[in-house]
Amino acid sequence: MTQNIAVLGTGLMGAPMARNIAAGGYQVTAWNRTAAKARALADAGISAAQTPAEAVEQADFVISMLSDGKALLALLEEEALQKALRPGTLWIDMSSARPGEARAAAERLLGIDVGFIDAPVSGGPGGAEAGTLAIMAGAAPEDFEKARALLATMGRPTRVGPVGAGQLAKLANQAIVGIAIAAVAEATLLLERGGADPAGVREALRGGFADSTVLQLHGARMQQRDFTPGGPARLQLKDMENVLSEAGELDLPTVRQTRDRYARYLSELDGAERDHSGLFEELLDLNGLLTR
């Protein structure tokens, strides 16, 4: 029997994800705050609902792709939605939220016998369209097995622990990327000042221990002084703040130093809307070498 999927939030990410779910043979009902965005999916056989409650009332699974965890928790407070959800439904939140927000959502839904998975993604709109998102799922093992085929229509799902662990994995991802940018910035400056060709070095290091997408992609942006986002530094700073907030008493010195430098990039160098690889500009400024 065809399973019914409610997709809540069909923006830049949610829309292509809904299309991939429908293409996978599921019956999809979509809701979006700006209703036109949900209606625009009609050509893929996706019904548009007027309210979240209407979207979820027949759903076997709910997929939410909202702006953040606050938006998720606010939605779950709606009485009409709570009444519309059927016991046994599994709610999969694919937004980026805080681990504590994921756990709070799970607890809220437990009371009405609705399961919960936090499954944030990495890969951006390109990955969403191609159906190649990395999906980090925090879930009970049996819930993950139930959701696996559905998640696989959108990308590559991996269970990384219990509820909340998906969001924690996403934070770990962001921390590694932010620090990798700092490392590649320092390597690039060293090479430029020493008369080596950073593009040649990136090519030479391809496939080795120092290689990464950050080296190849963000390293090229640094060399070309092209800081058109991409991922804006403002969001990278927010990510680093969230990592430290989640870490609580834990001391993570490299995250801390990188967070401070992103903060300086925004406050002193107007970096908020520049690409996160613009941390290279902060490094140049630190060395009295920044010219714009």
Residue 134 interacts with its own copies (CB under 8 A): yes or no: yes
CA pair distance 249, 71, nearest whole angstrom: 27
- Given the complex with its own copies, which of 10 and 188 has the nearer CB atom? 188
Under the binding rule (CB under 8 A), the answer on residue 3 touching its own copies is: no
Among 210, 235, 263, 272, binds its own copies (CB under 8 A): 210
Tell me: does residue 186 bind its own copies (CB under 8 A).
yes
**Residue 33: other Cβ atoms inside 10 A:** 14
Q: Say if CB 18 and CB 44 are below 8 A apart.
A: yes
Cα 206 to Cα 213: distance, rounded to the nearest angstrom: 10
Range in contact with its own copies (rule: CB under 8 A) among 8-16, 52-60, 74-82, 167-175: 167-175
The one catalytic residue in 37, 83, 170, 238 is: 170
Q: Would you count residue 229 as binding its own copies (CB under 8 A)?
A: no
Query: What is the phi/psi pair of residue 5, to 5°?
Result: -120, 130
Give phi and psi for 135, each to the nearest 5: -115, 115
Nearest to 191 by CA among 175, 178, 204, 209: 204
Contact region with its own copies (CB under 8 A), list: 53-61, 65-73, 151-159, 266-274: 151-159
* Cα distance between residue 175 and residue 256, in whole Å: 10
Q: Is 154 in the site for its own copies (CB under 8 A)?
A: no
Q: Which of 19, 37, 159, 221 binds its own copies (CB under 8 A)?
A: 159
CA dist., res. 62 & res. 90, Å (int): 6
Contacts 24+ apart (CB under 8 A), 188-195: 188/219, 188/222, 188/223, 188/280, 189/280, 189/283, 189/284, 189/287, 189/289, 192/223
Long-range contacts of 169-172 (CB under 8 A, 24+ apart): 169/120, 169/136, 169/138, 170/96, 170/120, 170/122, 170/136, 171/99, 171/239, 171/242, 171/243, 171/246, 172/243
Choose one: 47-55, 108-116, 175-183, 232-240; the region binding its own copies (CB under 8 A). Answer: 175-183
Stretch that binds its own copies, among 2-10, 54-62, 67-75, 159-167 (CB under 8 A): 159-167
Q: Which of 182, 222, 233, 269 binds its own copies (CB under 8 A)?
A: 182
Does residue 245 belong to the site contacting its own copies (CB under 8 A)?
no
Q: Does residue 247 bind its own copies (CB under 8 A)?
A: yes
**24-32, 39-47, 72-80, 207-215 -> range binding its own copies (CB under 8 A):** 207-215
Q: Does 138 bind its own copies (CB under 8 A)?
A: yes
Q: Could you confirm whether 37 is annotated as catalytic?
A: no
141: contact with its own copies by CB under 8 A:
no
41 binds its own copies (CB under 8 A): no
- Out of 35, 40, 172, 263, the residue judged to bind its own copies by CB under 8 A: 172
| Helix (H), strand (E) at residue 108 | helix 99-110
Distance CA 13, CA 15 (A): 6
The residue ranges that bind its own copies (CB under 8 A) are 99, 122-123, 134-136, 138, 156, 158-162, 164-165, 168-169, 171-177, 179-180, 182-184, 186-191, 193-197, 200-201, 203-215, 243, 246-247, 250-255, 257-258, 261, 283, 286-287
Q: Which residues are catalytic?
A: 170
